[in-house]
């Protein structure tokens, strides 16, 4: 394996079962991502984007095929090793922020550090450092209800960065934001990319996708485009997040 690769998928297939019914959410997918890349993954509702994100984030494992993260075959890791890999190597940013409503911005950023066993004083220092990095140091003791949507997403980014991850997986990170706040979050991702963090954006927003140096398109669970530009044919991308749930619902 190329030492520069952070993610390598070879012939990856994911099958979901409901009774005697099987649904193939991903089929024979081959995808490699080098450390330090910034890529976007696009596709229509039901194309497999959510399934792929769950696999890349080690929240699930393939039914068939090989998935390596940082040279480690994910399917061979036990639950404790998987949880440690997720906590230390992968930062997640979601459209809905997923902040604890009764915890301050600082306390939200401290959560992954708490799970990692970091002492309280160091947790506080690291959380404040990350909030300063995203421009929210003065808002550290504010609750989510006291923050704007853009500020809440910045807290989510700070939390994703807390453990110094190798990869940031961002699922529709600007979907709940106005255009100005969205541009600010995108600028933050590009700054992190320049600092060497691998950024993977899962999005239906073609404007957002165009800002990445590489665009991957999924269609019906298959990788149909991988290049520097948008695919020439219409993508059928819509405003719904893709994945097994919508496919199953028809």
pLDDT in tens, 59-102: 999 999 999 999 999 999 999 999 889 988 999 998 888 999 99
> Which pLDDT tens digit goes with each residue over 126-173?
999 999 999 999 999 999 999 999 999 999 999 999 999 999 999 999
The pLDDT score that the predictor gives to residue 136 is: 92
DSSP helix/strand/coil, 139:
helix
pLDDT tens per residue, range 180-238:
888 889 999 999 999 999 999 998 888 889 999 999 999 999 999 999 887 765 544 44
Chain position carrying tokens 């220092």: 125
Complete DSSP assignment for 159-203: HHHTT--SEEEEESTTTTS-HHHHHHHHHHHHHHHHTT-EEEEE-
3-state secondary structure of 146: helix
**Tokens representing 77?**
């890791």
**Six token digits for residue 41:** 């993954």
> How many CB atoms are closer than 10 A to CB 169?
25
Residue 2 to residue 197: CA distance in whole angstroms: 18
Side-chain half-sphere exposure of 199, counting CA atoms within 13 A: 30
Q: What is the pTM of this model?
A: 0.86
Q: What would you report as the CA-atom Rg of the chain, rounded to the nearest whole angstrom?
A: 18
Helices (H), the chain: 49-56, 79-89, 105-115, 120-133, 149-161, 179-194, 206-210, 244-249
Structure tokens at 196: 């060497």
* DSSP 8-state assignment for residue 138: G
SS3 content of the chain, % helix, strand, coil (to 5): 35, 25, 35
Q: Is 148 within 8 Å of 179 (Cβ atoms)?
A: no
SS3 205: coil
Return phi, psi of residue 67, to 5°. -125, 120
37-61+86-249 placed in CATH 3.40.50.300:
yes
List all residues 6 or more positions away from 59 whose beta carbon is below 8 Å from its beta carbon.
53, 86
Q: How far apart are CA 23 and CA 90, in angstroms?
A: 28
């Amino acid at each position: 394996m190329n030492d520069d690769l952070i993610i390598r998928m070879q012939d990856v297939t994911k099958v979901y079962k409901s009774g005697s019914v099987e649904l193939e959410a991903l089929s024979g997918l081959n995808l490699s991502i080098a450390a330090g890349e910034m890529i976007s993954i696009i596709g229509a509702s039901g194309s497999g984007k959510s399934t792929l994100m769950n696999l890349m984030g080690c929240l699930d494992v393939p039914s068939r095929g090989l998935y390596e993260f940082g040279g480690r075959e994910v399917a061979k890791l036990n639950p404790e090793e998987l949880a440690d890999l997720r906590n230390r190597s992968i930062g997640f940013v979601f459209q809905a922020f997923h902040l604890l409503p009764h915890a301050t911005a600082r306390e939200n950023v401290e959560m992954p550090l708490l799970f990692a066993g970091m002492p309280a004083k160091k947790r506080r220092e690291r959380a404040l450092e990350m909030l300063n990095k995203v421009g929210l140091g003065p808002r550290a003791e504010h609750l989510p209800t006291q923050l704007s949507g853009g500020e809440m997403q910045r807290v989510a980014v700070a939390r994703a960065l807390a453990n110094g991850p190798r990869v940031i997986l961002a699922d529709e990170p600007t979907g709940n934001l106005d255009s100005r706040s969205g541009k600010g979050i995108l600028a933050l991702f590009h700054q992190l990319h320049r600092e060497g963090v691998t950024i993977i954006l899962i999005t239906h927003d073609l404007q957002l996708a165009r800002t990445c140096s590489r665009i991957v398109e999924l269609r019906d669970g298959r990788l149909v485009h991988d290049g520097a530009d948008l695919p020439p044919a219409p993508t059928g991308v819509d405003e719904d997040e893709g994945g097994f749930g919508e496919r199953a619902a028809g």
